[in-house]
Amino acid sequence: YFQYIAPVKSGLDIKLGQVNSLIGYEQVEGPHNANYSRSWMFGLGQPFTTRGGRFSYDFDKHVSLSVGIIYYINSARGNTRHDPLVESALKMAASDRVTLTLYMLAGPRPGASGTAGGTLIQPGGYLSLQVTDQASAVIEAYYANQANSSTISPAGNARWNGVAGYLIYDFTKQWGVRLRGELFEDAGGFVTCEGTTNYQPRANVCFGATTNAPAPPVDQTRWEVTSTLQYKPTTSLSTRLEYRY
């Protein structure tokens, strides 16, 4: 992406191109996440990256706002259309130890095969707490509703939502543990079971899928608990051993 800091008071950060989405606590790059694996919320229900323009401004050391005008999102659901969407994130730091980030994604999106598709509204946020110098915690939740996009929902709307909690503790500068617990609901059968058996990573593939078609949509709730042991032999290298259930 191209970046320019416009001389507007404290500086208006302008980015043009493809950047990480403002939606969600987890990111594409592994070192920025608490765990090695990604959550269902990240992998199924939110954009990974977006393309377009983004404007970010720090009002002071406590409050900042980012707004993106985007024409494409890279996510688990394929999309060859380039509909305009808007994403935003408001970050508020009550202190050096407490930060609240509220985000929103809105705009037209294609629906499941055989539906007209419609407007997606996805608000959410996460609260970050630095409990001690060695311990921190994060709680995240979001809710998404997309009109006229589900083939199994009585109202025709696709709806998915999730909540996750993270506990991070560093015994030393080298050793630490990270725990994640998560609950993810796909009430409209829209974002889960979209993979086919022909897709080599075999991600998001459910029983009933074939080489050419995903499994039939189903209303389902998923959960997972993940524990990660981290060891950093140097400041620039992290190794992780993980168990997920």
Q: Which pLDDT band, with edges at 50, 70 and 90, does 39 fall under?
A: very high
Q: Is the pLDDT of residue 142 over 90?
A: yes
The continuous run of DSSP H or E covering 139 comes out as: strand 135-146
How confident is the model over 189-227, as pLDDT tens digits?
999 988 888 876 667 888 888 888 888 999 999 999 999
pLDDT of residue 47: 94
pLDDT of residue 75: 87
pLDDT of residue 171: 96
pLDDT of residue 61: 92
Written as one letter, the residue type at 143 is Y
Q: Which pLDDT band, with edges at 50, 70 and 90, does 77 fall under?
A: confident
pLDDT of residue 64: 97
How confident is the model over 56-71, as pLDDT tens digits?
999 999 999 999 999 9
**Percentage of the chain with pLDDT > 90?**
81
- Say if residues 101 and 126 touch (Cβ distance below 8 Å): yes
How confident is the model over 160-187, as pLDDT tens digits?
999 999 999 999 999 999 999 999 999 9
Residue 22, both tokens: 């403002």
pLDDT of residue 113: 87
**Residues near 223 by Cβ (< 8 Å), separated by ≥ 6?**
181, 182, 183, 184
How confident is the model over 41-53, as pLDDT tens digits?
999 999 999 999 9
Q: How far is CA 154 from CA 20, 112, 132, 175, 189, in A?
A: 34, 14, 48, 50, 12
CA–CA distance, 98 with 95 (Å, rounded to integer): 5
Return the ∠ at Cα 97 (arms to 95 and 98), rounded to 5°. Answer: 70
pLDDT of residue 202: 67
Rama region for 189: left / alpha / beta (φ>0; ψ in -120 to 50; rest)? left
pLDDT of residue 206: 86
CA–CA distance, 141 with 138 (Å, rounded to integer): 10
How confident is the model over 3-24, as pLDDT tens digits?
999 999 889 999 999 999 999 9
